[in-house]
Amino acid sequence: MKDLVSIIMPVYNNEKYLKEAIESVLNQTHNNIELLILDDGSSDKSLSIIEEYALENKNIRIISRENKGVANSIRELLEYANGEYIARMDGDDVSYPNRIETQIKYLKDNNLSLVGTYVDIEITDYKNEDDKLFCEKIFNFKLDKDHQCLKILNGHRICHGTFLGKTSLFQKINYNVSLKTSEDLDFIFELIKQNYKVGMIDKKLYLNRVNSNFVHEQKCLDEKYNQEILLSKIKFLEDRIFNREILIIGKNKYGNQLFEILNRNSKFKVKEICESVDNLKNEYVFITDRYNSENIEHKLTTLGKKNLQDFIAL
């Protein structure tokens, strides 16, 4: 059979959901797969669960070592992959049965390098339908055809566990192992910067489990969590904002954090944080006021400014 897919699964203390995650891979309609699992120093029963499945399934291979984090685990697993394609999977999530089959077909039909999918969300430690829908909106979005990076810069994310791409892509673009919260974002930005085509399937083919910490980080723009994400976004935008004065619209904690990050880099000329775009000249505008973002974008557009080229809502 052709189209061997190497599914790489870093695992860290996932004993509660791990069996379901592994079973969801073994039950794929595309059955030409190898499942590569790395136990990243788990202190629960994760390793014994993995070993149990590996004894019964010759297409499962395992690695176990001390904790080094997700990005390190992915890079290590990639060294053992034999497939034409790489698919990501997390040890507490679920891939729906036709996930891999659907993604491979979509990737080929649209001549893409990497494709993600829409997801269902389950919040594991409390129930709140509004928060569930809030998280789904982060991951379930249509990519802008002209600027694949736009919605991602705006705050959306392709669910990392749904990544499927050509093995050659993962060999050319490395995960940054120094990152803890934005390794997937950094990978996508690097991919787009090098003109690889990314796609998004608007069908829910994956169950993504999150907890209250994740919801809090997204809703409250947690400073520690956002540090890496903002740095990844600035790195991607560097060529656009270099040699231009920078204006930040939004006097809030998020705007202040962005100001501090930019101000620490002598390459950037940060003008000020303000509340309006009155008297705007040729500055590059970062919008950090999420409540009035649409109105600010509309006003900038009427002034002849172009999204991404002259301003971006973060």
Over residues 195-216, mean pLDDT: 96
- Band (223; pLDDT cuts 50, 70, 90): confident
pLDDT tens-place string over residues 72-103:
999 999 999 999 999 999 999 999 999 999 99
Residues in the chain, total: 314
Percent of the chain having pLDDT more than 90?
Answer: 91
Q: For residues 177 and 92, is the Cβ–Cβ distance under 8 A?
A: no
Residue 108, pLDDT score:
98
With cut-offs at 50, 70 and 90, classify the pLDDT of residue 1: low
**Mean pLDDT within 289-294:** 92
Q: Is the pLDDT of residue 150 over 60?
A: yes
Tell me the pLDDT band of 220, cut-offs 50, 70 and 90: confident
Does the structure show a pLDDT above 70 at 238? yes
Q: Kindly state the average pLDDT of the residues 252-256.
A: 92
Q: Which residues pair with 36 in a beta bridge?
A: 8, 61
The domain limits of the chain are 5-217, 238-313
Task: Measure the CA–CA gap between 151 and 145, rounded to whole angstroms.
Answer: 10
Cα distance between residue 66 and residue 68, in whole Å: 6
How far is the C-alpha of 147 from the C-alpha of 193, rounded, in Å?
Answer: 11
Task: Name the residue type at position 2.
Answer: K
5-217 sits in which CATH class?
A: alpha beta
Q: What is the mean pLDDT of residues 208-219?
A: 94
Running DSSP on this structure, what letter comes out for residue 298? H
Lowest mean pLDDT among 16-30, 221-235, 249-263, 288-302: 221-235
Q: What mean pLDDT, rounded, does the chain reach?
A: 95
Per-residue pLDDT of 95-143, as tens digits, reads: 999 999 999 999 999 999 999 999 999 999 999 999 999 999 999 999 9
Q: What is the pLDDT of residues 268-284, one digit of tens each?
A: 999 999 998 888 999 99
DSSP reduced 3-state for 176: coil
Q: Give the pLDDT of residue 225.
A: 84
Q: Which of 271, 181, 184, 190 is nearest to 221 (CA)?
A: 181
If one looks up domain 238-313 in CATH, what number appears? 3.40.50
Q: What is the mean pLDDT of residues 164-191?
A: 95
pLDDT exceeds cutoff 80 at 177? yes
What percentage of the chain carries pLDDT values higher than 70? Answer: 100
